Structure 1
């Protein structure tokens, strides 16, 4: 019936005119569910932005502002040395309201009397700024070299063993999507020279050099001839000897150690007439040996065919020799 009446009125008076928007009404675009109305943040989720008409006096927008973070009451930093790195362990006091560490769900529950009602949540700060996070700045010689963010109160960071200088670790709370908002900061100086390191036992010169390279150690090597070829390249003496001890990095960094390393000399006259095969089996791990036949040795020549009178493994390691046999 209403439609019939409206059709008659339109036929008589003509089609209706659009009601003009009053000057007292303005259109605004704002973050959905916020009041006072908040300005959208560049790059934020478009599903959280809406537009609508409001009275002109309420059309002003306020900047989107994250909630205030609780204060960080304490944190701790410790450093331990492994074979390859210094490991920085960081521990925060737990955030007082642990629910703030989780992005709020789309629904909200409200209780009245003995009944609980579930409805759609229109707004939560965690949707805009992200949940609360634990964050650390690793500062070396005045520059931030790493920033760590986590949703748990423990963090780890590795620093190469040959990293030296003034290090500081600054800890604070922030938001996952807005790291400009931070709590108070607690900073801890870290003296890498005071880090404890366990010095291993060195089997060979290669083991010793590997360790020394990490700490810019200088190794003065003196070779000592040993009757047993298995002593070749072995660490026989070390001064100072910190093997199997825990020391401060400052005690070994850029220091000089004296090492006595095993060597072995082969006097060719002593093996003339002996089995070439036995010689090969004894020295194949140290020398590149060509053995055309397995008879008894008459002489040994180098790669140019020149006779060799003696072979010191420390100066001939890997060198090619040929066994000339009967």
Structure 2
């Protein structure tokens, strides 16, 4: 186990998003979180990524567990270049990469400066010793795959979608035990989504993500965590299996709710026999009726999920027409 979540709860004022969420994450797990809008999917990801217990509960990570987190709207340093942003992090290797990229840019801008050239040579030797070239090469390959080709462009010049892709490249490249992604396929075309799908399937370590792309979810995920009515339900399997298991659960819950209503109607008839008769009624039974009445009031209809298909992704072809006439 690399991380455990125990009885995690989160509320905003009087509104409870979720309560008593409990599950473990093992190496190799690819967990997708699913639920209707407003159930707290992004909040759950953020709580786990930051190790914050919200309004109660506990998040316990393995001592050596490294977490990388991609929020829906990632922060960025406007002054950093694309590569500098990708190499954000505290590890010695990432710090070395940042120093090397800065030195390379300065040396390229002033090739006659012997001090800068000597500094660059020194850092190149350190890169050799730390086996850091592979990480740099991988970062550039991932950025290129995501449509980012100018590695020295300032982050301030990028669009929101481009900044999200740079942030995605960063969490994919930086080594981690648990990768947490919030809507990673937004603003992607089909080809890029297919590439990301294969990368995540081959990646070692655990994955925890939210996505509204049904087919991406179906092909990547091997465990599904549903947030429904503030409760957490964990299923082994992808989206297709989740639909089957959720229907079985809802049928069971509906049958239990109907039994509860039948008991309530019977008890309501008993307690409605008149004030005089009620004086002889069991106090315990009256108290139980009050509890039963509240349970019936709490029965609510399930919400409906909103999952999109691959057809909603971005693509190079927006409209294609043939043989039009007037």
Common fold, TM-score beyond 0.5?
Answer: no
Q: Normalized per residue, which structure has more strand?
A: 1
Report the TM-score when normalising by structure 2. 0.27
* Greater radius of gyration (CA): 1
Q: Normalized per residue, which structure has more helix?
A: 2
Structure with the greater relative contact order (CA < 8 A, sep ≥ 6): 1 or 2?
A: 2
